[in-house]
Amino acid sequence: MSIEELRDKINSVDTELIDLLAKRRGLSKEVIQDKNDNKNPIRDQKREEELLKRLIKLGKQKGVDQHFLTKVFYEIIEDSIRLQQSHILNPSKEVTGKERLTIAIQGIEGAYSYLASQKYFAYSNKELEFVSKKRFSEVVEAVEKGEADYAVLPIENTTSGGINEVYDLLLHTTLTIVGEETFQVKHCLVASADVSVHKIKKIYAHYQAAAQCSNFLVTLPEARIEYFADTAMSVQKIAEEKNPEFAAIASEEAANLFKVNIIRKEIANQEENHTRFLIIARNISKVDNRLPAKTSLVMATSHAPGSLVKALSVFDAYKINLTKLESRPILGNPWEQMFYVDFEGNRDDENVQNLLDDLGPYLRFFKVLGSYPSQVVKKTKLDLHESVDVKDDAYVEKIKEIQKPIVKKKAKAKSYKLASREYKEDDTIVKVRDVEIGGDDFVVIGGPCSVESESQIFSCANEVKVNGAQILRGGCFKPRTSPYSFQGLEWDGLNYLEAAGKEYDLPVITEVLAPEQVLAVAKQSDIIQIGARNMQNFSLLKEAGKVHRPVLLKRGMMSSIDELLNAAEYILAQGNRQVILMERGIRTFETATRNTLDLSAIPVLKELTHLPIMVDPSHAIGERDKVAPMALASKIVGAHGIMVEFHPEPEKALSDGPQALRYPQFAQLMIDLKKL
């Protein structure tokens, strides 16, 4: 069969896929109609989990990669949820009967506000008409005066933070927030001709876009930055001027709209660069209580000690989670602040109404800016290994009681104050993306000892994901006993590890060896590991304490528990309170295994410290056939998780091959852990 015939077949299959997706969307609309008639919840996550499990099983039979399949169906499920939410919300109800919605934005077509608007209103099935304004204040005025139905305003960016002008406008407008949308910003450098970036003499850019691309702009010292009111308008400018030495920072969509060349993609400082937009309107829009909602308000406390603490304590009393707290100066009142607050909850809920009532006595001013559906659709957690209920409830409760730390209230003062139970009685939970270490879930970190190649770490990441482990490990900088042993791929290895984590939606962890590595590694790794050989490298500990990344600290090979906790204290004392301790075996007179795994350290540490405690049975035992029993024992004695090594071909591993599990062994271990 020729390549043309194969492409024709692919085109035919693609057409069938589109038809099937359209058919599925139609069925989703019928489902929400039935849910509305019967007042059923919008989401049934048990049904979603069963659906995904069935599809994965079917996919295996058809030879479809599990990770690819789940990615596709997560997108389909999210689309279905947003479609159903849109049906309930009917965002155009205040303009009922109109086939067109008028949206006011700052900028012109192709601007990020324009793109975010298209994303948000895509489910309304209405024609969109845009009203372009130069300033944010004019956008708000357009809706206040009835010139537009909605305004879409950027409120914060994950790289450059909040947009102060918009916060100030929210305080004084009579409009209300009715929705939110997040849009991934992918800045490009665009020009009227396909030229080298080093020939560019002038760059038009919005000041926020320039700030988000500052690292790239430093590499072009000859280029002068000229600030523009809007990203799309800067593209329009270079399209009109047709000067090949002039460029603009904008989106790929804007470049395509104005038919100019993209000369460099992905120029932002951070790849994960998202802007959150608010949708505001004249009238309050009630949120169906079946939808997850957020409420935004602005408040001013009295200018007295403890006033903010008292106000925030009300949220704690009602168990309502704050998602944002942003301060802005009060004009005319030097050194006094207003606070913009976002929290989870619907103002029509009784619990939220009671919170607002009880909040009042601690404030001299507050204004609810709106309640609106949360834009974030949380993915259904997929447990591919069914738990096996082999113990009765009484047995489970007894195990929990055994594992509960004994807190000695009147113990003498310790040298590790911040790590001690006396300082903090409740367990510390370290959150890494959506993984919580130190809570009820048993966390498994898995992967190879060393990152050896891009294909190897991607293969291992797939195994982590498929088998239900939560975090991907891989050594990039390797401390080896012999200077002639493999020292790791270093920065190339870190790039591979980071890419694999992003591809499979997994947090990653890798080790740092020197203080000067910490900050750079922290930009790419979700957790920083300090190995056993560096447990008392105090300069390294102090540097790790200065970054906002969790630190996993391994116990030294000949270190006492007291020394381990004092090492953790060095990190905590610098301000980083996200420390995870790890028992990895100590040297004793026994030589039957690589080290002696001190499982007694787990209950001892749980009594002495609030920090999470994990176990590394791979380095402790050093023999793959003995790793699984010790991993299971670690869970029994109360560890919060384990770190285990596996490799696609352990015999060919460049480091610690004898202790690396084979893929089937790792899969079986994950099943056995679920049975406990």
Does the annotation count 339 as an active-site position?
Answer: no
Binned at pLDDT 50, 70 and 90, residue 77 comes out as: confident
Binned at pLDDT 50, 70 and 90, residue 397 comes out as: low
Query: What is the CATH architecture assignment of 302-368?
Result: 2-Layer Sandwich (3.30)
Q: Is the pLDDT of residue 410 over 70?
A: no
309 phi/psi in degrees, rounded to 5: -60, -45
Class of the CATH-defined domain 405-675: alpha beta
Q: What is the mean pLDDT of residues 183-202?
A: 93
Q: Is the pLDDT of residue 594 over 50?
A: yes
Which of these, 608, 598, 533, lies nearest to 565 by C-alpha position?
608
Catalytic residue among 277, 442, 477, 666: 277
Which of these, 447, 461, 466, lies nearest to 60 by C-alpha position?
466
Binned at pLDDT 50, 70 and 90, residue 360 comes out as: confident
Alpha-carbon distance of 29 to 26, in angstroms, equals 5
Tokens of 563: 């020394």
Binned at pLDDT 50, 70 and 90, residue 92 comes out as: very low
Q: What is the pLDDT of residue 93?
A: 43
Does the annotation count 589 as an active-site position?
Answer: no
Q: Is the pLDDT of residue 407 over 60?
A: no
Integer angstrom CA distances of residue 364 from 166, 171, 301, 317, 573:
22, 15, 6, 20, 37
Catalytic residue among 70, 275, 301, 609: 275
| DSSP state at residue 345 | S
Whether 420 contacts 613, CB under 8 Å: no
Binned at pLDDT 50, 70 and 90, residue 387 comes out as: very low
Whether 522 contacts 549, CB under 8 Å: yes
Angle between helices 3-38 and 66-89 (to 10 degrees): 40
Q: Is the pLDDT of residue 70 over 90?
A: no
Q: Is the pLDDT of residue 636 over 70?
A: yes
4 vs 81 pLDDT, higher one: 4
Q: pTM of the entire structure?
A: 0.75
- How much of the chain is in helix, strand and coil states, percent to nearest 5? 40, 20, 35
Q: What is the DSSP string of 211-239?
A: HHTHHHHHT-TTPEEEE-S-HHHHHHHHH
Fold topology of 188-267 = D-Maltodextrin-Binding Protein; domain 2 (3.40.190)
Residue entry with tokens 């080290």: 595
Average pLDDT, the chain: 89
Integer angstrom CA distances of residue 221 from 207, 265, 384:
17, 19, 52
pLDDT (tens digit, 9 = 90+) per residue, 507-557?
Answer: 999 999 999 999 999 999 999 999 999 999 999 999 999 998 999 999 999
Alpha-carbon distance of 352 to 349, in angstroms, equals 5
Binned at pLDDT 50, 70 and 90, residue 413 comes out as: low
Return the H-helix or E-strand segment holding 587: none
Whether 516 contacts 506, CB under 8 Å: no
Domain boundaries, the chain: 12-89, 188-267, 302-368, 405-675
Alpha-carbon distance of 279 to 584, in angstroms, equals 51
- Count of CB atoms situated within 10 Å of the CB of 515: 16
Binned at pLDDT 50, 70 and 90, residue 82 comes out as: confident
Q: What is the 3-state secondary structure (H, E, C) of 235-260?
A: HHHHHHHCCCCEEEEECHHHHHHCCC
Q: What is the mean pLDDT of residues 406-413?
A: 53
Return the H-helix or E-strand segment holding 606: helix 601-608
Whether 339 contacts 280, CB under 8 Å: no
Q: What is the mean pLDDT of residues 240-244?
A: 93
Q: Which CATH entry fits the domain spanning 12-89: 3.30.1490.20, 1.20.59.10, 3.10.580.10, 3.40.50.2300?
A: 1.20.59.10
Alpha-carbon distance of 123 to 32, in angstroms, equals 14
Whether 294 contacts 342, CB under 8 Å: yes
